[in-house]
Amino acid sequence: MALRRLLILCLASAWLSGCSGTIGADDFEPVDDAGLDAGGDDAGDLRDGGDLEDAGIADAAADARDAGADEAQPDGGDAGGDPSPERCPPLSGDPPVHGCLEAGWTVFTAGHLLLLDAPSMASAGTDFILQLTPQGEVIQTVVGPGSGILGMRDAVLDPSSGHLLYSVSEWTSQIFEIREVDATGNLLHTYPMPAGMGGGDIAMAFDQLGTLHVAYDNAIFRKPAGESALTRWLDLPEGQGLGEIDLDRRGNIYLTDPHVTESVMRMSPDGSLCTLAGPEEGLNSPYGLTVLPNDEIFVTSINPDGHACRIFKIDAGGGVSLYADDVAPAGSSMRGLDVDAAGQLYATSEGFQPALLRIDSDGSHEVVAGDAQGLIRPARVVSVSTPYPCE
């Protein structure tokens, strides 16, 4: 019963967190004994920010609200008082220079956008991937809803092959794998995650050498270019969750997970972990992130006053500034962020107003795609440009 109550409190707390607190289907599967069927209406209500009382956890929600102030840890630690990892030192020196890939490295049109839409997270249909122009025109459906895929989580472009990789975490069928497709959506390879682990979301990023980095469960896995299997590389410290990952040109990995920590973490190639930015800098449930060639980082957050989505920029020295405010309304989730070759930022917004957004340097934003393109729950955006920081 204690474990069951803890799980229910976690679900209620995540729902109450607002913008970035949207929870994927994988977060609901382990709590079947609490009466939340993974594909049922109650789970869908929670994913959509529905009525907590209808889902049977109104009391837990009230407990979470009442306990919130007491359990808050100003240093980013957990409720038990464990401190966060030490603060990251500023990056120093010029990073290695990596050239951008030449034209023709991928059959996807340079400058276009690949959009992963995951309605299955809200029990609202099967998932799909679109190819769009920067103006929002749909060029093609790369992977259609007719494929019957549930549990899409992340998408990246392979700089070695130019193919698209997307991850699937589907609890009902216990499918946790990465799939590689060509520009027409034909399945080329499947990379299953190691058996015997706890399951969960699968986040991916490529480095400048074409090595695929995968965050899954409690570890980071790698697949060098040309190899056919993932190997376990680094273990994560106990308590560090996995939301999104990206890499800089020095090989550092950046991590978020709004359900576990209020901070953006940096992991060096030797496995050491440090806190890059957190609540002290105004971050609140940081989730989506992307790293720029100059080592600047964009990260999504929520405004604690009103819970609208906002985007922060972190510079190479660790300085944090608000880049764009009120980008998406309260109750939304912004997990997808990417920049194109010119540095233009794009973001996905899930929730009440599903959209693909273009964010300008003055903080203004506009909708690139939405209802007119059939978006339901846009979760990831990939710019067809070199899929790692380059110059």
Cα dihedral: 165, 171, 176, 182 (round 10) = -30
- pTM attached to this predicted model: 0.79
pLDDT value, residue 39: 38
Instruction: Kindly state the average pLDDT of the residues 119-128.
Output: 94
Question: Mean pLDDT: which of 20-24, 44-48, 290-294 is highest?
Answer: 290-294
Instruction: Characterise 46 by phi-psi region: left (phi > 0), alpha (psi -120 to 50), beta (else).
Output: alpha
pLDDT tops 50 at residue 15? no
For residues 65 and 117, state if they share a domain: no
pLDDT in tens, 64-122: 334 433 333 333 344 344 456 899 998 888 888 888 888 889 999 999 999 999 999 88
pLDDT value, residue 19: 52
Domain boundary among 71, 88, 123: 71
* Residue 89: how many other CB atoms lie within 10 Å: 10
| Residue-number span of the structural domain to which 360 is assigned | 113-383
For residue 140, is it within any domain?
yes
For residue 89, is it within any domain?
no
Q: Do residues 185 and 142 touch, judged by C-beta distance below 8 A?
A: yes
Its sign, for the CA torsion 140, 382, 127, 44, is negative
Strand order in the sheet with 202-206: 202-206, 212-216, 219-223, 231-235
For residue 265, count CB atoms less than 10 angstroms from its CB and return exposed for 0-12, middle for 13-18, buried for 19 or more.
buried
For residues 55 and 136, state if they share a domain: no
For residue 78, is it within any domain?
no
pLDDT value, residue 53: 32
Q: Which helix (H) or strand (E) holds 7?
A: helix 2-16
pLDDT tops 60 at residue 254? yes
List beta partners, residue 320.
314
For residue 129, is it within any domain?
yes
For residues 8 and 138, state if they share a domain: no
For residues 299 and 374, state if they share a domain: yes
Please state the domain count of the chain: 2
pLDDT value, residue 341: 87
* Residue 287: how many other CB atoms lie within 10 Å: 25
For residues 212 and 335, state if they share a domain: yes
Tokens of 82: 């464990």
Radius of gyration of the chain (CA): 19
Q: Specify the higher pLDDT residue, 300 or 7.
A: 300
For residue 92, is it within any domain?
no
For residues 310 and 184, state if they share a domain: yes
Nearest to residue 378, comparing CAs of 131, 149, 127, 168?
Answer: 127
Q: Specify the higher pLDDT residue, 98 or 328.
A: 328
pLDDT value, residue 241: 66
